[in-house]
Amino acid sequence: MSAGGNKVRGFVFDIDGCLVRGPRAIPGAPEALATLRARGSGIRFFTNDSAKTQAETAERLTAAGVEATAEEVLTSAVVAAAYVARRFPRGRVLIVGAPPLRVALEARGLSVVDAPPADAVVVGRDVDFTYAKLHAACRAIWDGAAFLATNLDRRMPVAGGFVPGTGSLVKAVAWATASRPLVMGKPSVWAGRAAVASLGVPPREVAVVGDQLLQDIRMGKLAGTSTVLVLTGSSTREDVERAPARLRPDAVLADVGHLTEWLAK
């Protein structure tokens, strides 16, 4: 399998709008991934949602008909935990986020605290966000803690519309502290590097596949991989035509079901 003259041995897939829509797989996705697995390709699934564990995300995919294991799932929480552990080994981390973010950090030997002092503050999705949490995060950053965000997503799609995304909470902390966070999730270079490293192959032998130009495709470009946009989610062909050359994907496909056909060419 080759793309752009390079053999593709690993794939990083977005989830919503690329492989699944709600509780169901997008037609052709399960079959395409089964074919890639049969050929020995490495598979990773990347989500910006820091409020679900790797196991929970894998279970959701499998229930929809897309085979997945927890080890194949990468989340923004996992990327953030790895970064903080490298920078502050066994450090204290104050979080704004759901239990899975705490689990990811503690798995790296970090101490999760609810009040300053802290070496770092990590802001993720938190449906129980309060003024007290905002104040604690700001106090830690004012006192010198590093400021990280799992992502800057403005909103999240749900049944019947949208809900505010993690970015809305991050912006509150950023505004109060006059600080800019280091973003761990898509489309950051940290997310792309983590995804490629987990596959154990060079970036030129990896393809990032997703439905959003500014998230999935941009992450792949920053990481130096091949990029494939599928038209089953957010971005359209018109978006591609209007995009600057640096954001245009290597391929635009109707859906993931056409991926093996593209690779064969």
Residue positions annotated with a catalytic role: 14, 16
6 vs 227: CA distance, rounded Å: 12
Q: How far apart are CA 141 and CA 137, in angstroms?
A: 6
| Number of continuous H segments (helices) and E segments (strands) in the chain | 10, 17
Query: What single-letter amino acid sits at 258?
Result: H
Which segments of 2-89 does DSSP mark as H helices, in order? Answer: 29-38, 54-64, 76-87
CA atoms within a 13 Å half-sphere pointing along the CA-CB vector of 263 = 26
Give the span between the Cα atoms of 181 and 38, in whole angstroms.
Answer: 41
